[in-house]
Amino acid sequence: MLVGDNPASKVYVSSKIAACEKLGLASIQVAPPATITTAELLAIVEDLNRRDDVDGILVQLPLPPQVDAKKILDAVDPAKDVDGFHPVNVGRLQSGQPGLAPCTPAGIMEILRRSGLPVAGQNAVVVGRSDIVGKPAALMLLNASATVTVCHSKTIDLPRFTRQADLLVAAIGRPGFVTAEMVKPGATLIDVGINRVTDADEVEEFFPGDAGRAATFAKRGSVVVGDIHPAAFASAGAYTPVPGGVGALTIAMLMQNTVTAAKLRRGILSEKKREKN
C-alpha cells in the first residue's frame, strides 16, 4: 500500500515488487492519493484483511500527516502483518514466541547466523531505539542470549558503551555518526543507516581518495553512507557495507514473512513446527 508520491517510498515499493516477481509471488500495489483520510484508508485495509487471496499486507511508511499511522498499522490483521509492526506480533517477539518479526532486525539476525558470527554471550550494543529497528533488534539479540545495551540520542558518554561492544548495531539515522574511535577493535559492526550525502566536502571526508564514490557523486549529486563512519571498518572483525548490506536482507525477510504468513493461514506450517525450525 503506497499512499501519495513520496519518491523514496516509490523506490522501496518498486524493489519489493521486483523481489516478488523474481520469486514468483503475486503482488498488488494499492496506491490511494495523498489526500486520503484515515477512515478511507482503514476501509481499504479492512477489505484486504477480508480477502482470502491476500496473505500479506504492507503499509509503506511514512503516511501523509493527516493520516493516523498507528491506527492504520493496528488495523492490519496480525496474521497478514508481514512488516511485524502489529502489537500482537510485537508482543510475541517480546515474549520469545514465534510470529511475524520486523524485517530489518530479522535480516540482521540472518546475517549473523549465515556468517557464523557468535551472538550468545556477546556484549551487544544497539544505537537507536526506534520501534521499527532499534527496539526489536535489541529483543532479538536478547532472545539469542546476547547481553544487550540500548543507547540513543540522550545517552551520556555514548563512546563508553560502544567501545565495549563485541557486536554493534547502528540505527540512529545520522551519517557517519559512529566513528572509528568509538569502536572496539575486532568488533562486528552492523550498519542499518542509509543516508544520502549531497555535500562534496562531506563525500571526501567519508570516502577520501575513493574514485568510485567520487564518480557516483559527480553523476548523481549524492552518495550513500551509513550510520558508521567508513573509517571504522578497517579495524572491525566483520561489518555490513552500505549500500548492499542490511537493506538487501530486509527485503529478503519480507519475502520470507509473506511465505510464512501464507503457510500459517493455510495450516501448512504450524506455530509449533515453526518454533522448532
In whole angstroms, what is the distance from residue 222 CA to residue 57 CA? 32
> Would you tell me the crossing angle of helices 246-265 and 103-114 to the nearest 10 degrees?
110
- Phi, psi (degrees; rounded to nearest 5) at 126: -110, 120
Phi-psi region of 96 (alpha: psi -120 to 50; beta: other; left: phi over 0): left
Is 16 in the active site? Answer: yes
Name residue 196's beta-bridge partners.
224
- Phi, psi (degrees; rounded to nearest 5) at 94: -60, -35
The single residue listed with the C-alpha cell 540522550 is 154
SS3 162: helix
Is 83 in the active site? Answer: yes
Catalytic residue among 60, 81, 191, 227: 60
Catalytic residue among 16, 80, 135, 184: 16
DSSP at 157: T
Count of residues for the chain?
277
Catalytic residue among 55, 77, 81, 83: 83
In whole angstroms, what is the distance from residue 112 CA to residue 237 CA? 12
> In one letter, which amino acid is 215?
A
Which are the catalytic amino acids? 16, 60, 83
